[in-house]
């Protein structure tokens, strides 16, 4: 299967600024809900989402938690330098980086970088476990990102505790405002658990504990995986054709038990958010890599889904991956994905998608185009014409895959 030759201009639409939801609604589940099934479009409220899901189908959630990734320092001149932590470099595994109690190095974006060429910056931090001095040094630079080494002088305090105390929750750049108190709780899903994202899996922001309980009583099994969302999720495609775009890499964590449930599943599978879709589909391709005798240390590469053999069955690929995870990983898979899902992609795992409305020219919109075909434009025209709110704090949709 050839790499798709898609012109990104075909995935453009006019999104007025006043249609971008700048703040969350007072209640999570009162957002509007668009339902697309068998080519038909209807609308409701999110708290009625159970009425529009296939009965008894499992629902897969991404339980990542947004970290307070923005840290602010000041030079002696008074200039403010902002450090936006993207992903850990040393240690490279997310949980280990958070648990370290002496030093860690992260890939970061440095705000006001021209004002800080060399030297060490420090700030005092008071945590529940005590006071410390946090020092940063730039130890490398690649393109618009820098390698920043963090050191501190209190071994009783982990890096996770430092950023939880001193950091600020990063909100999407298109909101064009500073982070406010409401964002500390509302830019997290109620089921968020594993710290590591710099952006929320926003499809999950509509769920409440009560609604989750209702879905459970209705027979929907709740399954969880982890994909730590990176800042690249906001990066628009800036090349004319999709084949020239470099997809960002994101870290995933999946338990063997989830793979077992996916193998056994005989009902349509519901994914909450594009991050869950990307993870689930990546699991299939990791299995294919194993069946082909290829290493999976590098995770899923950008074009694997188009260049690897296409004939393996879902259960066969997932079973190969589960065998590997049980034998080599102690039952927990830590991997990466750079998967590119664009029109022409053949979905192997996901049948129904719960998702928000995405930016023009984005890889997320291309994923929607792959899922529902050319009807993506009809869906978005309907949303624009019926006062739906867009992007992270916006309204939601239930989309059935176009077959």
pLDDT at 90 over 90: yes
Residue 180 within any structural domain of the chain: no
Question: Does 178 fall in a domain?
Answer: no
Averaged pLDDT for residues 333-347: 95
Q: Give the pLDDT confidence score for residue 147 in this predicted structure.
A: 96
Q: Are residues 241 and 323 in the same domain?
A: yes
343-368 pLDDT per residue, tens:
999 999 999 999 999 999 999 999 99
Residue 242 near residue 302 (C-beta atoms within 8 A) = no
Q: Is residue 60 part of a domain?
A: yes
Sorting pLDDT into bands at 50, 70 and 90, what band is 3?
A: confident
Q: What is the mean pLDDT of residues 16-34?
A: 97
Contact criterion met (CB below 8 Å) for 363 and 371: no
Q: What's phi and psi for 24, nearest 5 deg?
A: -75, 155
Residue 51's pLDDT is what?
Answer: 98
pLDDT of residue 318: 98
| CATH at 356 | 3.40.1780.10
Q: Are residues 217 and 358 in the same domain?
A: yes
With a cut of 80, say whether residue 278 has pLDDT above it: yes
Average pLDDT for the chain: 95
List Cβ neighbours of 333 (8 Å cut-off, separation of 6 or more). 252, 253, 254, 255, 256, 259, 286, 321, 325
Query: Are 135 and 222 found together in one domain?
Result: no
Interval 358-380 mean pLDDT: 96
Which of 136, 167, 198 is the endpoint of a domain?
167
Q: How confident is the model at residue 4 (pLDDT cuts 50, 70, 90)?
A: confident
Which structural domain range is residue 133 located in?
70-167
- Residue 226 CA to residue 216 CA, distance in Å, equals 20
With a pLDDT cut of 70, the percent of the chain lying above it is: 100
What average pLDDT does the segment 69-96 reach? Answer: 93
Q: What is the pLDDT of residues 192-220, one digit of tens each?
A: 999 999 999 999 999 999 999 999 999 99
Position 177 in a domain:
no
Residue 163 falls inside a structural domain: yes
Q: Residue 403 class from Cβ within 10 Å (0-12 exposed, 13-18 middle, 19+ buried)? A: exposed
pLDDT computed for residue 197 by the predictor:
94
Residues 112 and 163 in one domain: yes
- Domain final residue, candidates 109, 134, 167: 167
Residues 18 and 109 in one domain: no
Could you say which of 119, 136, 167 is where a domain stops? 167
Whole-angstrom Cα distance, residue 227 to residue 225?
7
* Distance (Å, whole) CA 210 – CA 207: 8
Radius of gyration of the chain (CA): 21
Q: Is pLDDT larger for residue 247 or for residue 388? A: 388
The answer on pLDDT for 1 being more than 80 is no
Question: Is residue 173, in this structure, part of any structural domain at all?
Answer: no
Cα 48–359–38 angle (5° rounding)? 45
* Shared domain check, 277 and 199: yes
Q: Residue 2: is its pLDDT beyond 80? A: no
Main-chain dihedrals φ then ψ at residue 191, nearest 5 degrees: -105, 10
Residues 236 and 355 in one domain: yes
Report, as an integer, the average pLDDT of 228-236. Answer: 79
pLDDT bucket at 231, cuts 50 / 70 / 90: confident
What phi and psi values does residue 158 have, to the nearest 5 degrees?
-90, 165
Looking at the fold, whether 151 and 195 belong to one and the same domain comes out as no
Return the structure tokens found at 175: 């909101």
Same domain assignment for residues 198 and 259: yes
Q: Is the domain of 146 the same as that of 120?
A: yes
Could you give the CA distance from residue 219 to residue 243 in angstroms, rounded to a whole number? 42
117 pLDDT band, cuts 50/70/90, is confident
Structurally, the chain folds into a number of domains equal to 2
Residue 107 lies in a domain: yes
159-192: per-residue pLDDT in tens?
Answer: 999 999 999 999 998 999 999 999 999 999 999 9
pLDDT in tens, 233-274: 777 788 888 888 888 889 999 999 999 999 999 999 999 999
Question: Could you identify the residue written with the tokens 């710290």?
Answer: 195
Paired tokens of 105? 């190095």
Q: How many CB atoms lie within 10 A of CB 103?
A: 12
Q: 97 and 145: one domain?
A: yes
pLDDT at residue 150 tops 90: yes
Confidence at residue 242, expressed as pLDDT on a 0 to 100 scale: 84
Are 243 and 338 contained in the same domain? yes
Q: Is residue 179 part of a domain?
A: no
By DSSP bridging, strand 270-272 and strand 32-37 are: unpaired
């Amino acid at each position: 299967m050839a790499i798709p030759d898609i012109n990104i201009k075909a995935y453009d639409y006019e999104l007025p600024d006043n249609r971008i939801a700048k703040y969350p609604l007072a209640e999570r589940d009162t957002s509007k809900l668009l339902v697309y099934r068998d080519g038909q479009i209807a609308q409701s409220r999110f708290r009625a989402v159970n009425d529009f899901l296939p009965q008894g189908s499992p629902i897969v959630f991404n339980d990542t938690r947004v970290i307070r990734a923005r840290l602010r320092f000041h030079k002696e001149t008074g200039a403010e330098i902002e450090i936006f932590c993207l992903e850990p470099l040393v240690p490279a595994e997310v949980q280990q980086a958070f648990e370290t109690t002496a030093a860690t190095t992260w890939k970061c974006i440095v705000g006001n970088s021209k004002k800080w060429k060399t030297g060490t910056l420090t700030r005092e931090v008071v945590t529940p476990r005590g006071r410390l001095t946090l020092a940063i040094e730039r130890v490398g630079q690649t393109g618009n990102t820098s390698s920043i080494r963090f050191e501190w002088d209190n071994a009783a305090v982990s890096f996770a505790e430092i950023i939880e105390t001193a950091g600020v929750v990063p909100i999407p750049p298109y909101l064009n405002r500073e982070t406010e108190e409401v964002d500390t709780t509302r830019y997290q899903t109620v089921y968020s658990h594993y710290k590591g994202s710099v952006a929320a899996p926003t499809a999950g922001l509509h769920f409440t504990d009560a609604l989750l309980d209702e879905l459970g009583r209705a027979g929907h099994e709740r399954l969880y995986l982890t994909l730590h969302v990176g800042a690249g999720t906001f990066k628009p495609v800036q090349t004319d054709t999709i084949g020239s775009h470099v997809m960002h890499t994101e870290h995933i964590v999946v338990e063997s038990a989830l793979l077992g449930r996916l193998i056994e599943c005989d009902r349509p599978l519901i994914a909450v958010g594009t991050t869950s879709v990307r993870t689930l589909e990546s699991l299939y391709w990791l299995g294919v890599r194993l069946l082909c005798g290829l290493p999976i240390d590098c995770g899923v590469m950008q074009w694997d889904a188009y260049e690897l053999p296409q004939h393996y069955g879902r259960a066969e690929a997932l079973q190969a991956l589960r065998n590997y995870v049980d034998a080599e990983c102690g039952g927990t898979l830590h991997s990466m994905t750079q998967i590119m899902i664009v029109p022409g992609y053949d979905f192997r795992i996901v049948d129904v998608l719960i998702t928000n409305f995405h930016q023009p020219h984005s890889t997320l919109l291309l994923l929607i185009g792959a899922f529902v075909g050319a009807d993506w434009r009809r869906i978005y025209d309907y949303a624009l014409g019926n006062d739906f709110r867009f992007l992270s704090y916006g309204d939601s949709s239930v989309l059935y895959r176009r077959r």
